[in-house]
Amino acid sequence: MIRVLFADDEELIRTALETLLNLEEDIEIVASCDNGKNAVRLATELQPDVCLFDLEMPGMDGVEAAERILREVPTRVIIVTRHARPGVLRRALATKVSGFTPKSVSAQQLAEIIRKVAAGGRWVDPEIAAGALVGERSPLTARESGVLRVSRSTATVEEIARELKLAPGTVRNYLSQAMTKLDARTRHEAAARAYEQGWI
C-alpha cells in the first residue's frame, strides 16, 4: 500500500482527488491538509511514502514545504499545480522533488505518477520540461531568492532576518540588490515579479 499525504488549499479539488485516489487498491491517503506548514508537520509525524503537494498554498508553498520535509523525512514529493512556470520546475528539481505535474491530469494519470514515484522513479510533465529548457534564467543569487521568498509572507525586515538568521542590515542589502536586478521599486514588487517568473 502506498501511503500518501495530500496538501492543497482548494477544498473542492482536495476532497475530490482524495476520494478518487482512495478508490485505487494500492493507494491510501493517510492525511490531507490545506497549507504548507501543516504539511510539514504531518509529513514529519506520519512519514508517508509520497507527499502530493499543491504548488500555491498559504503560509508556505509546495516547493518550500518539500524542501523542509526532504531534509528530514525519507519520502518522495510530487508537486501538482495550475500554474506550471518553468522557473518553478527548476526550483522544484533543485530541492529533489520527484514529480511535477499540472492539475489538468486525470485522477487515473495521477495514480500512475504516484506509483512511478513511489517505486523510485521521477515524472515531469513533458510540456513543462520543454518550457524549462528555454525559459529565462533567474538573475538572483540563492540568498536574494531566499530573502524575497520569505518577504512574501513576512511583514518586516526584522522578521525576515529572524526567520533566516541574518542581520537586518544584511537582509536590506539582499533586498536592495534583488530590487535593482528586477527593476522593482519595492521589495513587494520584486517578490511578486520573481514569483510570477517562478524564481522564488
Residue 60 near residue 51 (C-beta atoms within 8 A): no
Q: What pLDDT, on a 0 to 100 scale, did the predictor assign at position 84?
A: 65
Q: What pLDDT, on a 0 to 100 scale, did the predictor assign at position 37?
A: 93
Instruction: Give every residue of the chain whose pLDDT is below 70, as ranges.
Output: 83-86, 131-136
Q: What pLDDT, on a 0 to 100 scale, did the predictor assign at position 134?
A: 57
- CATH number 3.40.50.2300 is the correct assignment for the domain at 2-134: yes
pLDDT in tens, 121-132: 999 988 777 766
Q: What pLDDT, on a 0 to 100 scale, did the predictor assign at position 107?
A: 92
Fold held by 142-197: Arc Repressor Mutant, subunit A (1.10.10)
Domain ranges for the chain: 2-134, 142-197
Q: What is the DSSP letter of 137?
A: P
Q: What pLDDT, on a 0 to 100 scale, did the predictor assign at position 132?
A: 65
pLDDT in tens, 57-79: 887 889 999 999 999 999 999 99
Cite the DSSP H helix spans in 76-125: 86-94, 107-118
